[in-house]
Amino acid sequence: MTSDPQTLFAALDKTARDGGFSGVVSVDLGEQVHVAGHGLADRRHQVPVRPGTRFAMASGSKAFTALAVQCLVEDGVLSLDTTARSLLGADLPLVDDAVTVRHLLEHTSGIGDYLDEEALGDITEYVLRTPVHRLEETEAFVAELDGYPQVSPPGERFAYNNGGYVLLALLAERAARLPFHDLVQQRVLDPAGLTGTGFPRADQLPADVAIGYLHEHGSDRTNVLHLPVRGNGDGGACTTAADLSRFWRAFLEGRIVSESAVAEMTRPRVTVEDEGLRYGRGFWLDLDGPGVVLEGCDAGASMRTRVDPRSGLVVSILSNTSEGAWPVISRLQDELG
């Protein structure tokens, strides 16, 4: 097991260089910060990745949804036992009336998933029924989520569910009477000081956001036609390695939600053997260790960020390709033992 930050960074950085990685590798222990950019943020214009380049988080941003919901729970606007039906009304009639906020947060709702990763196959397939340019605001996703029958009774079993987190965003938005993106900004990003994090439109990316590519090498095809034009509850935020370090510290210090809520959100509830991880409430956890993990994979994006709450060590690996982060993540797992 590697414990020295510089040694760990050197091992990860070598794997990145040797494998033609496109992205950022960061190892951050407060006063010791090692970060490097590799590859190109924009292939056509030969713009290099820099340490401060922003990358899509894909499912890593589900934590922001979970935290925004938890803030509403702490405010008394929602409870963990609030049913989805109480806010859905006649919308999404195939969602079981017994599904609660707790079920959705913990991926035990049993609802049909509009983006079922087990059935998807290649992540770069065109899978959305709604034209992606229309998927800008949360209410636009109602039609996309509709028509998927309940798969299992609420609370019966864990099944990772993207649609469940879009549904959480919809419930939070309706309960708070505030657009989801504004809710996340006010309750999560601002308190944590995440000035480089947000939900930009895919067809209007700021200059410092890496363009997502469908293939590792040899093609300039981007992901703009494969994803909602603006991400929502299940993914789509963009961030920097430095902001992820700020996020972890703010989260663990109770600056976003209470310390008791942090403990509940990082309490393991299920072991997911296929992932080699456990799951809490909005956060992945080491299979056998102290680490709290966010991970994401989508067309043109792959990432993992992990914090060790005992030492404060944060390791973040962000890539603008669909599979590019995994060799470096594999090396990280080897180094951490």
| Residue 302: strand pairing partners | 297, 319
Which residues neighbour 101 within 8 Å (Cβ) at sequence distance 6 or greater? 69, 73, 78, 79, 80, 81, 82, 84, 168, 171
CB atoms inside a 10 Å sphere around CB 281? 20
One digit per residue, the tens of pLDDT, for the chain of length 337 reads 666 999 999 999 999 999 999 999 999 999 899 999 999 999 999 999 999 999 999 999 999 999 999 999 999 999 999 999 999 999 999 999 999 999 999 999 999 999 887 766 676 776 788 999 999 999 999 999 999 999 999 999 999 999 999 999 999 999 999 999 999 999 999 999 999 999 999 999 999 999 999 988 878 999 999 999 999 999 999 999 999 999 999 999 999 999 999 999 999 999 999 999 999 999 999 999 999 999 999 999 999 999 999 999 999 999 999 999 999 999 999 999 7
**Predicted TM-score (pTM) of this structure:** 0.96
Check residue 117 and give its pLDDT: 72
> What does the radius of gyration of the chain's CA atoms come to, in whole angstroms?
19
- Distance of alpha carbon 237 from its chain centroid, rounded? 7
Residue 181's domain spans which residues? 5-336
Alpha helices in 76-179 (DSSP H): 85-88, 101-105, 117-120, 142-145, 162-176
Check residue 62 and give its pLDDT: 98
CATH number of the domain bearing residue 166: 3.40.710.10
Alpha helices in 21-161 (DSSP H): 62-75, 85-88, 101-105, 117-120, 142-145
| Count of structural domains, the chain | 1
Check residue 187 and give its pLDDT: 98
Check residue 2 and give its pLDDT: 67
Q: What are φ and ψ of residue 316, in 5° steps? A: -130, 135
CB atoms inside a 10 Å sphere around CB 20? 13
